[in-house]
Amino acid sequence: MSNILIKNAKVITTMNAKKDQLKDHDILIKDKIIHKISQNIEVSDKQIDEVIDGSKYYVYPGLINTHHHFYQTFTRNIPQVQNVELFDWLKFLYPIWSKLTPEVVYYSTLVATAELLKTGCTTSVDHFYVFPKNQPPDLLDNEFYAAKEIGIRLHGSRGSMSLSEKDGGLPPDSVVQTENEILKDSQRIIEKFHDPSPFAMHRVVLAPCSPFSVTSTLLNESIQLAREYSVCSHTHLAETKDEERFCIDAFGKRPLEYMESLDWLGSDVWFAHGVHFNEEEIAKLALTKTGVAHCPVSNSKLASGAAKIPSMLKKGVKVSLAVDGSASNDSSNMILEMKTAFLMSRLIYGISTITTEDVLRMATKGGSEVINQPEIGSLEEGKAADMFLVRWDRLGYAGGFYDPISMIINTGDSQIVDITIVNGEIVVKDGELVKVDERKIIEKANELSKRILEA
């Protein structure tokens, strides 16, 4: 790890408890932590590996993406699914995803995380749930290897599907596993990759895909296994009206009531989407400290609806922000996701229902609360050195740099940041990836995408 000194930063948006915005302050990074934030920090040249002239930059906590499907970067912008809702969208794409290989998993992870890092994201959850029958059992491992190579902090979800079409579910047999296969590999992945220590770069989450693709038995046994190993649990929930009808028809319960019956509420659980939670359910989420990953771009594109984010925030639900999969978003851009979250809530619920500060908090502190990694999500002494920097003198900010939070969300002609630091290491510099060759990744990605679509 490097020791880095950021000198005289124009503004540091800390997202600490006081919501301090510090002008003309220094940040001293030693190894992987923020050692000191102060004015005029004095250290000898021998103690510092790199000095950054912070007077050119606004500094923000690294953004935290709490729901994604990295493998979908190779199936985005497909014409046949640009105008269909979730269930039809899934039915078209499942056969394509059944052609995933270790190489596809590896390079799609590099593509997705590269986009995230270049848009200020330093930590990402990925929900991987497609395990074709003809592929090696260690398919998911490739995701962790790629994340390590590029330098992002990863909470990798061992997802699963056990309920195929013949059993009344949505996915085809080609991507469905038995419950024993799923639980055995879940345990293997936890024991191989999960690091429970503070500042961990790799953690594991157990994540059965959805109520319409897994059995009740698997949901129950998965949450038990997760709690035995003290790892978090995650799934899609209340995303569409189709899902709501499926749960009522199949189980006689609304989606949240169904998950509650299987012990799937608590501070170690969060749900992606939550578009169709009612007010009573939102209150229950708050009471049980169950989290939500808000995915506004995906929800807009698939016409799933607008989650009641202002109500969730008012009631004290742990709300985070996420880009969702690249086949329903078509990008992995966390800054654009913040802008969409802000505009969606204002459009649907009114101008006074959400602020840009609310949205930035969702994307930082909210994320750290949802995934239970408290040492990230804010810029404070003793916290992880995860942050991004943008030059204030860009064309897209000209005449509009008076509010640093609104500036990063609402203005700008590009969401590509100048510098991203993860775990005390510079991984994006001058808007370019540092640890990997971006051109080679793009070439390989296009080759692999073409291969699985034409196979």
Contacts of 227 (CB under 8 A, 6+ apart): 268
388 phi and psi, to 5 degrees? Answer: -135, 155
Closest to 37 (Cα-Cα) out of 48, 47, 28, 46: 28
User: Which parts of the chain have pLDDT scores under 70?
Assistant: 1
- Residues 70, 130 contacting (CB under 8 angstroms): no
Q: What is the pLDDT of residues 123-155, one digit of tens each?
A: 999 999 999 999 999 999 999 999 999 999 999
Q: Would the pTM count as exceeding 0.95?
A: yes
Q: What is the pLDDT of residues 219-253, one digit of tens each?
A: 999 999 999 999 999 999 999 999 999 999 999 99
Instruction: State residue 342's pLDDT score.
Output: 98
Q: What is the pLDDT of residues 164-177, one digit of tens each?
A: 888 887 888 889 99
Instruction: State residue 1's pLDDT score.
Output: 59
Per DSSP bridges, beta strands 291-294 and 269-273 are parallel
DSSP lists the bridge partners of residue 406 as none
Helix H, strand E, coil C: the string for the chain is: CCCEEEEEEEEEECCCCCCCEEEEEEEEEECCEEEEEECCCCCCHHHCCEEEEHHHEEEEECEEECCCCHHHHHHCCCHHHCCCCHHHHHHHHHHHHCCCCHHHHHHHHHHHHHHHHHCCEEEEEEEECCCCCCCCCCCCHHHHHHHHHHCCEEEEEEEECCCCHHHCCCCCHHHCCCHHHHHHHHHHHHHHHCCCCCCCCEEEEEEECCCCCCCHHHHHHHHHHHHHCCCEEEEEECCCHHHHHHHHHHHCCCHHHHHHHCCCCCCCEEEEECCCCCHHHHHHHHHHCCEEEECHHHHHHCCCCCCCHHHHHHHCCEEEECCCCHHHHCCCCHHHHHHHHHHHHHHHHCCCCCCHHHHHHHHHHHHHHHCCCCCCCCCCCCCECCEEEEECCCHHHCCCCCCHHHHHHHCCCCCCCCEEEECCEEEEECCEECCCCHHHHHHHHHHHHHHHHHC
Between helices 179-193 and 141-150, what is the axis angle to 10°? 30
Instruction: State residue 122's pLDDT score.
Output: 99
| Residue appearing with tokens 């930063």 | 9
